[in-house]
């Protein structure tokens, strides 16, 4: 299943960072980082839609050679000095890059692109032999999303599953079909639970909130397609169908 939202280009261009760093033990960023070796040994990582470079900074600190790509904007001023930034409009495709990458990271970005399928196809020449795509993907089959739609609501939020800058809304099956169609075989997937603490920032660090988020994570592991908030995947590039 997929839904598509249209957005005036001017609104897209004025939007700030598409994501902020999420340090929780069960967050998508923590799970994304868990797929990378602790020691980078100079292996190359392409961080697509890197924003201020939260993940790029941590990966470069592990010894990876990191290149980030994002559109020009104020976020670039905070990009870490231990990584290289390439500024480009991702809706126009991949910029020319001289190197190939062992890892291409797409954290919270594909749902923001006008044509994520075409973009995934454009990534293929940029993988080195044995390279992997690591991505986080929102789940529009989540119970919270389903209940809103069932009640005839489709809100426009600053972040989350109804982020106003999301252009595509896919369930797990929709993401699977897109990856298969564009030549990626999903090898591993981990769900994240609902980030309950974001809705109650005053109590975000309390033991009660940590217990609730742990419960949400365990529910997502039991029934990923219903309770998963995001999917964090590792995919192998292969010949597109």
The domains located in the chain, with CATH, are 23-237 (3.40.50.150)
CA distance 144 to 55: 28
pLDDT digits (tens, 9 = 90+) for 144-170: 999 999 999 998 888 888 889 899 999
Mean pLDDT for 90-114 is 94
Mean pLDDT for 43-55 is 94
224: pLDDT confidence band, cut at 50, 70 and 90?
A: very high
1: pLDDT confidence band, cut at 50, 70 and 90?
A: low
Among 67, 56, 59, residue whose Cα is nearest residue 39: 59
Q: Which residue has the higher pLDDT, 14 or 90?
A: 90
CA distance 116 to 185: 16
pLDDT at 7 (0 to 100): 44
Backbone angles phi, psi at 226, to 5 degrees: -100, -40
Q: Which residue has the higher pLDDT, 241 or 182?
A: 182
pLDDT digits (tens, 9 = 90+) for 64-94: 999 999 988 877 788 999 999 999 999 998 9
pLDDT digits (tens, 9 = 90+) for 130-146: 999 999 999 999 999 99
pLDDT at 3 (0 to 100): 64
Does residue 117 have a pLDDT over 60?
yes
93: left (phi over 0), alpha (psi -120 to 50) or beta: left
Query: Which of the residue ranges 8-22, 25-39, 98-112, 199-213 would you say has the lowest mean pLDDT?
Result: 8-22
103: pLDDT confidence band, cut at 50, 70 and 90?
A: very high
Within the chain, strands assigned E span: 2-4, 44-48, 65-70, 84-87, 101-107, 127-138, 168-170, 184-192, 230-237
| pTM of the entire predicted model | 0.87
pLDDT at 21 (0 to 100): 65
CA distance 113 to 191: 22
Does residue 16 have a pLDDT over 50?
no
Q: Considering the chain, what is the average pLDDT of its residues?
A: 87
Residue in the structure block whose two tokens are 């564009």: 182
């Amino acid at each position: 299943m997929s839904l598509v939202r249209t957005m005036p280009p001017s609104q897209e261009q004025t939007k700030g960072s598409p994501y902020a760093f999420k340090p929780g033990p069960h967050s998508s960023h923590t799970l994304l980082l868990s797929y990378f070796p602790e020691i980078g040994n100079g292996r190359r990582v392409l961080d697509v839609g890197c924003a201020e470079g939260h993940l790029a900074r941590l990966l470069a600190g592990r010894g990876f050679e990191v290149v980030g790509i994002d559109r020009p904007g104020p976020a670039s001023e905070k990009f870490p000095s231990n990584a290289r930034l390439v500024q480009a409009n991702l809706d126009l495709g991949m910029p020319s890059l001289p190197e190939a990458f062992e890892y291409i990271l797409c954290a919270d970005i594909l749902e923001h692109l006008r044509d994520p399928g075409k973009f995934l196809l454009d990534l293929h020449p940029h993988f080195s032999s044995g390279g992997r795509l690591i991505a986080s993907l929102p789940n529009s089959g989540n119970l919270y999303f389903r209940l809103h739609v069932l009640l005839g609501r489709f809100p426009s939020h600053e972040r989350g599953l109804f982020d106003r800058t999301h252009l595509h809304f896919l369930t797990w099956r929709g993401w699977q079909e897109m990856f298969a169609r564009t030549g990626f075989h999903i090898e591993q997937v981990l769900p994240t639970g609902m980030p309950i603490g974001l809705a109650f920032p005053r109590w975000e660090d309390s033991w009660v909130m940590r217990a609730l988020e742990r419960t949400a994570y365990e529910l997502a592991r039991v029934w990923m397609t219903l309770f998963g908030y995001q999917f964090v995947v590792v995919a192998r590039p292969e010949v597109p169908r």
